[in-house]
Amino acid sequence: MRLAQLKYGFMLVDACIALALAGVITLAAAGIYAHASAARTALEPALQARTNGSAAMTWLGGQLRQAGALLPPATVDAAHPLSPPLQPALSAEPAGISGERLLIRHESRTDCLGSSRASGQLYFDDTREPALLTQTNHIFVSRTATGGPSLMCDPDGSGPATAQAFAAQIEAMYLRFRLRSSAAWQGRAAVSNWEQVQAVEVCLVLTGGRASACPSQGGSSPWPPRVLIGVFALRNAA
């Protein structure tokens, strides 16, 4: 009888230990899940910002490479005006707390938002064939109607009312320029002749990033993960 009682006593102790261990494991699993969920919640906005920034940098590179188009030859005749020289093809100016603002001129029937243009001054090439239309696009960072910072495009420089967001979660854009007359990168304020620009360095500050990390603001590599750097040569640089 005593042996049976001991046996059942051991079984009860074993069951209690098993239940306790199960509880500990359950709590640990819940903690791991909560930690993973919190990490995922924190990581997803960063990944989204990185994705948006990468898309914006690719788009900016395409815009910058087009800057200037090709300079036209001498005028054919008064009835067929040639597309005028797009000089300067590129310029920049301050954009308040959002960094700097780019102005890019190029020839295309598609503006910086991807919209087709069918009207405007009609120009011709030297064979009297209609030339592409001239675009003058402002690109800058601003806070949208929803309150979030975005990279904006103002097609044909028509004013803020026509600007539309291209990529969200971008806090600022800072620039440096390589000139034909200098081997060193120059900040916007140091450029006096925009026709000398041959390449542009773009620094995009993503949400949570620091503007001070951009090269034009004193930063140096390695750059933190919430800052993207791109360098683009102007295809039609003089």
pLDDT digits (tens, 9 = 90+) for 95-140: 877 899 998 887 777 777 777 766 656 667 667 776 666 778 889 9
Higher pLDDT, 145 or 112: 112
Higher pLDDT, 87 or 45: 45
Q: Is the model's pLDDT at 83 over the cut of 70?
A: no
Which pTM was predicted? 0.71
Residue type, 61: G
What's the rounded mean pLDDT across residues 17-25? 57
CA–CA separation, 151 and 196 (whole Å)? 26
Cα separation values, 225 from 53, 177, 210, Å: 11, 23, 10
pLDDT digits (tens, 9 = 90+) for 175-216: 999 998 888 999 999 999 888 899 999 999 998 899 999 999
The residue with tokens 């603001």 is: 217
pLDDT digits (tens, 9 = 90+) for 36-51: 444 444 557 778 888 9
